Amino acid sequence: MKLQVKNFGPIRDGYTDRNGWLEFSRVNAIIGPQGSGKSTIAKLLGTFLWLEKQLVRGYLTPNYIKLYNRFRKKYCAYQNMDNYFNDDTILAFQGDSFTFEYVNEQININKVNNGYYAMPKIMYIPAERNLASIIDRPDKLKGIPGALGTFIDEYERAKISTDKNLMLPISGFYIRIDKANRIIHVGSDSHSVRLSDSASGFQSLVPLYLVSKMLGEEIEEGKDLKQSQLSAQEKIRLQNEIEKIMLDTNISEEVRQATLRTISMRHKCESFINIVEEPELNLFPDTQKQVLNELLRLCNLGKYNVIVFTTHSPYLISYLANTIKANDLGVKAIASGMNNKINLVSEIVPQSAWIKKEECRIYYLSNSGDIKQLDTIGGIPSDDNYLNNALAKSNIDFSNLLEIEQQWQ
């Protein structure tokens, strides 16, 4: 999948390499200063992916999206991006089944065949997810943003479908779920508290972890989605379609069964596209590593799974480089039959989190509105990047302060 963005919100020239196309692979990170457009890229990608999915299912038509400026006023407004448009905005998306091009304030949509289309479950996990933790029944809230509301729906479903007791990807901590009241407690060997009363790191981690784990494992390759795993809107649409077919007396039983099988296939998801804002929110660096390893494990469960995350954390980029290096070493060890070496590597980076260097993309957005792809050395993300440079500058500042101190002596 590819995305092109120009003159939209904080993004001006956008990506100038490869004819302006941002190419997304299996694992994708978006870094950059505050307000540079990281979430804008993530939200646009999620919007186009969702629209493509609805077109493939037949729930939407190109004309419906085009009419009355619905693309901007309805679908981009869902992610609060309707005010990001300018007269010269250019947006484009290339998916496996449809392409979109927004130019001259008009959107064009075309059916294509760019490869096998794996029906996705798309989840956008917003930075505001802490709200779901500080209120015991967030599903009762009204007037919240659309994307956050959708996430909360999945979070509430995860509370019910998850085991009563579950270890967190933080050593020594677990959650206990009171399913009758949908209340979560966070605990360790020494004590436990309600999630709403716990540390902010748990409040950002638990919703992210529960929803990602539920969806990643539900769509693990070879598993079918049950009706209980559909969103509320998807359930209504599915029920209406089935009812219409069952009540149609003008079709034969053979045609009826074939149509029902077709409907069922349209609701079978084969991939999990996890779009996460700032996985590191309120988390200690070592915890960030454990969370990243878990997100990568869930991504690795399915052949067509994808993860996209925005981040301000230099640690996550460093850990991402480690997962690539671990994969390189692991592949060599496996080819040589050196099981002891595989075990040594796995003690540093779990094998379930290894990723191939060709399956990773890191994009940097600047405050001037342009986008660059992070350089690599042998396919591994370079240390010379915005986040690491910020840490280096801090060290230089400290050295300068020491020099001033020495001048006084």
The rounded average pLDDT for each run of 10 residues, N- to C-terminus, in the chain (409 residues) is 97 93 97 94 98 93 96 95 96 97 96 92 96 86 86 93 90 91 90 93 96 92 52 66 72 67 67 97 94 97 96 92 91 85 90 94 94 83 65 71 71
Place of tokens 């360790």: 188
**pLDDT reported for residue 394:** 65
E strand intervals along 126-240: 165-167, 174-178, 183-187, 192-194
Q: Check residue 103 and give its pLDDT.
A: 97
Q: 273: part of which helix (H) or strand (E)?
A: strand 271-277
pLDDT of residue 246: 72
Give the 3-state secondary structure of residue 133. helix
* pTM for this predicted structure: 0.87
Q: What share of the chain is helix, strand, coil (3-state, %, to 5)?
A: 50, 20, 30
- What pLDDT shows up at residue 261? 57
Which pLDDT value is given to residue 64? 97
Cα separation, 39 vs 43, in Å, equals 6
Mean pLDDT over all residues of the chain? 88
* Contact criterion met (CB below 8 Å) for 225 and 269: yes
**20 backbone φψ class: left, alpha, beta (φ>0; ψ -120 to 50):** left
C-alpha 120/C-alpha 24 separation (Å) is: 15
Return the pLDDT at 228: 47
Per residue in 7-27, pLDDT (tens digit) is 999 999 999 999 999 999 999
